Amino acid sequence: MNNNNEEQIQAEVEITTDDAYPALWVRLLDELIDSGITFGTKYTLKYFEERLALKADTMSFGIAIGNINDELCASGLYLSQREQLGEGYIVLKEDGAEEMARSRVRRSFREMARAAKLFGGIARNPQAEISEKTKERLLKCEEKAAMRLALMRAPIATAKKIQRLE
């Protein structure tokens, strides 16, 4: 192998945004943090589209924003299009972020209850063409989902009892 610096390597390689490392959303997250992102900060849609190299109406864009939000949540920050009329994003104020968290908790309860019902519904449906083994597995899944739901709700019920005693 010759390491002569005067020889140029010829390669026909197209660099795309898929090849970006770190991912563009990670770069944007770092930029947001470095610029001092805080409650109430507004960003235009164009700002995000340019930095993510994606159009706002694509699934990839939504996934990137979701990834950014997953990281920002640890700091209590949440990017939202709420009341932005499609013009961009705002970092929700403290009360708005709290309401978003509460909404997610309510949604998780509903989804866990639906999952439990669906597992059981499949297992008990006489039209379902499933083996006895699959039926047993689905019933166990239903039971686990119901138990998880009960455990999710338990701390809330316990906290309410404690408040009543005080």
Predicted local distance difference test score (pLDDT) of residue 13: 52
Say what the pTM is.
0.67
| Tokens encoding 49 | 């589209």
> How many domains in the chain?
2
What is the domain extent for residue 59? 17-92
Quick check: 80 and 96 in contact, CB under 8 A? Answer: yes
Q: Is the pLDDT of residue 84 over 90?
A: no
Mean pLDDT of 122-128: 94
Same domain for 32 and 76: yes
Same domain for 44 and 59: yes
Task: Tell me the per-residue pLDDT of 48-82, one tens digit each, with 9 for 90 and over.
Answer: 999 999 999 999 999 999 999 999 999 999 999 98
For residue 3, tell me if it sits in a domain. Answer: no
Same domain for 87 and 104: no
User: Mean pLDDT score of the chain, rounded to an integer?
Assistant: 87
40 Rama class: left (phi>0) / alpha (psi -120 to 50) / beta: left
Same domain for 104 and 80: no
- In angstroms, the Cα distances linking 96 to 32, 35, 105 are 20, 22, 14
Among 48, 63, 92, the domain boundary falls at 92
Please indicate whether residue 139 or residue 84 has the higher confidence score (pLDDT).
139
88 Rama class: left (phi>0) / alpha (psi -120 to 50) / beta: left
Q: How confident is the model at residue 1 (pLDDT cuts 50, 70, 90)?
A: very low
For residue 119, tell me if it sits in a domain. Answer: yes
